[in-house]
Amino acid sequence: MTRVFFDVNGETHQLELDTRTTLLDALREHLHLTGTKKGCDHGQCGACTVIVDGRRINSCLTLAVMHQGDEITTIEGLGTPDGLHPLQAAFVEHDGYQCGYCTPGQICSAVAVLAEVKAGIPSHVTADLNAPVRLTNAELRERMSGNICRCGAYSNIAEAISEVAGRSA
Ligand code: FES
Ligand code: FES
């Protein structure tokens, strides 16, 4: 067992964990933050996406002990039922889900995508590395390609993210 401390959604937590515990299991099983979902547990679906020190990661692929002192944001830290994050509100407005299982991961990923674009970080499909990065449909689909939706709500998800990107552009 190892003592691990990190900050989750603005609160510091200290846990005694088996060193083999993934960050996903630490969040769900130990802190009871069940908004972050376990889909594949193999880094293939994106359902477990959280934001760590400003970057999105698959929390099933990383051990909790690797995040000593880190700042972690989960879907619970983005908004509240009465004060939705703009992306949460846009997902509701555009019907960006069916079962909702992939949704927390989609939204955490989308938060990171908007930050990447704002920072001018290119993606695999960015044609001109000298021009300002714009969130075109191709850019959006490439950047969100690690988040699988088994219900196939992709077009509504893309509309929701594009609306927020346009708003904040
Ligand atoms: Fe982590 Fe699928 S549960 S990527
Ligand atoms: Fe069901 Fe995406 S809304 S998996």
Give mean pLDDT in consecutive 10-residue pieces for the chain, a chain of 169 residues: 96 97 98 98 98 97 98 96 96 97 98 96 94 93 97 96 82
Q: Tell me the ligand closest to 152's alpha carbon.
A: 2
Give the strand order in the sheet containing 55-58.
11-17, 2-8, 71-73, 49-52, 55-58
List the beta bridge partners of residue 51: 56, 73
* Ligand 2 atom nearest 149 alpha carbon: 2
Q: What is the pTM of this model?
A: 0.95
Residues 43-70: pLDDT tens digits? Answer: 999 999 999 999 999 999 999 999 999 9
Q: What is the DSSP letter of 67?
A: G
Q: Which residues line ligand 2 (CB under 6 A)?
A: 97-103, 149-151, 153
| Domains delineated in the chain | 2-77 (3.10.20.30), 86-165 (1.10.150.120)
pLDDT at residue 168, rounded to an integer? 56
